[in-house]
Amino acid sequence: MFDIILKRKEGTNVLKGIKLRLYPNRTQQNQLEQMFGNDRFVWNAMMNERYQNNRDLPFLGKFKLNYLLKPLKKEYPFLKTSDSSSLQVVNEFLTQSWKNFFQDKTGQIGKPRFHSRKYLKKSYTGKSIIRITGKRYLKIPKLGYVKTSKTGVLQNTKVKRYTVMLEPTGKYYLSLQAEISEPEKYSLTGKQVGIDVGVADLAILSNGLKYPSFNSSYFEKKAKIWQKKYSRRRHLVKLLVLQNKNKRVLCPRSLESFTNWQKAQKSKAKYQAKAANQRRDYLHKLTTHL
C-alpha cells in the first residue's frame, strides 16, 4: 500500500507526501515502542516539568533545547536508542507550540498538553537519511532494514522528513516528505470537461457521465456499534477503578489490566479504517480517471 499526495512547488522542485506500509519484526516493534516513548518523555521533560518546577525560568528556543539534549541523554541513557534528529524535531514542535500559546490574544490556543502513553496513535518524526536497499526494504536510522511496500515511488526523490506511525489498528506506516527535482510531465490532450459536484451524485460530468456518492454504510454501521460498546465498557471499567472519598478503590486492578474495552477499541478502529480506506480508494480511482 502506498499513497502519493502532491503538496506544493518550490521553483522547479515539487514536494510530495508519500505514505508506505511498514512490516517491522518483533525486535523492531519493541524498539519502535521505546522510540515513541522517548519522544513523549522529551516533550514532557523539556518544558512541562521544567515550568512546573520553576515558572520564572526564561523561555528557551529550539537551539537551546537541543543543547540540553546531550546532558539529558547522559542522565537517561535510554534516549540514545532514538534517532537524534527525532528528539530535535520534538523540541522544534514544542517551541512552536509555546510560541503559539504566548502570542495568542484570542484565548483559543491552549498551552502544550502532557503527552500520555495511553494515546492510541503513536509516532515520531526524524530528518535523517533513509536509504532504499531493495524492492521492498528500506534502511531506517536506528531500526536497520525494515520490510515495506513497493519502494519504486521513492526513485529520484530526496527525503526531507519522515514519520513512523502506529495506527490504532496495529499497522505501521511510514509517511515521507520527499522532494522531486524532475517532476513527471504530462502532455495536453486538448479535451475539456465540466464537473458539477453534488449531494445525490458525487460528480456529474458535462458529457453526461455520473459518479454516484460512495456508500460505506456497512463498515460505518459496524464502527458505530463498536464505538458504543467501547464507550460503555470503558465507562464501566472507570467506575470500578474509581476512588471514593476515603481514596479506596472498588477494584485494585489498573485501568489497562481490563482487556474487554481494549478489544472493542481495536474493533472500532478496524472498521473505521476500512471505511476510510474504501472511500479514499474510490476517490483515487475517480480522480485518476478524470
What confidence tens digit (pLDDT) does each residue in 180-224 have? 876 667 788 888 888 888 877 888 888 888 888 888 788 889 999
Domain span at 245:
217-289
Top pLDDT among 107 and 168 is at 168
Question: Are the C-beta atoms of 239 and 142 separated by less than 8 Å?
Answer: no
Q: Is the pLDDT of residue 40 over 80?
A: yes
Of the three residues 180, 198, 226, the one that is the final residue of a domain is 180
Of 195, 183, 130, nearest to 158 (Cα)? 130
Of 49, 114, 111, nearest to 76 (Cα)? 49
29 lies in some domain: yes
196 lies in some domain: no
Q: Is the pLDDT of residue 9 over 70?
A: no
CA distance 126 to 140: 10
Q: Which of 12-16, 35-39, 138-142 bottoms out in mean pLDDT, i.e. has the lowest?
A: 12-16
Q: Is the pLDDT of residue 6 over 80?
A: no
Q: Is the pTM of this model over 0.85?
A: no
CA distance 32 to 53: 30
157 lies in some domain: yes
**Residue 283 neighbours by CB under 8 Å, 6+ apart:** 214
Top pLDDT among 192 and 12 is at 192
pLDDT tens readout for residues 88-142: 898 888 888 888 877 777 777 777 787 777 766 788 999 888 888 888 899 999 9
Q: Do 111 and 162 reside in the same domain of the chain?
A: yes
Of 4, 2, 7, 1, nearest to 287 (Cα)? 4
144 lies in some domain: yes
Q: Do 250 and 148 reside in the same domain of the chain?
A: no
Quote the number of domains for the chain: 2
CA distance 115 to 49: 12
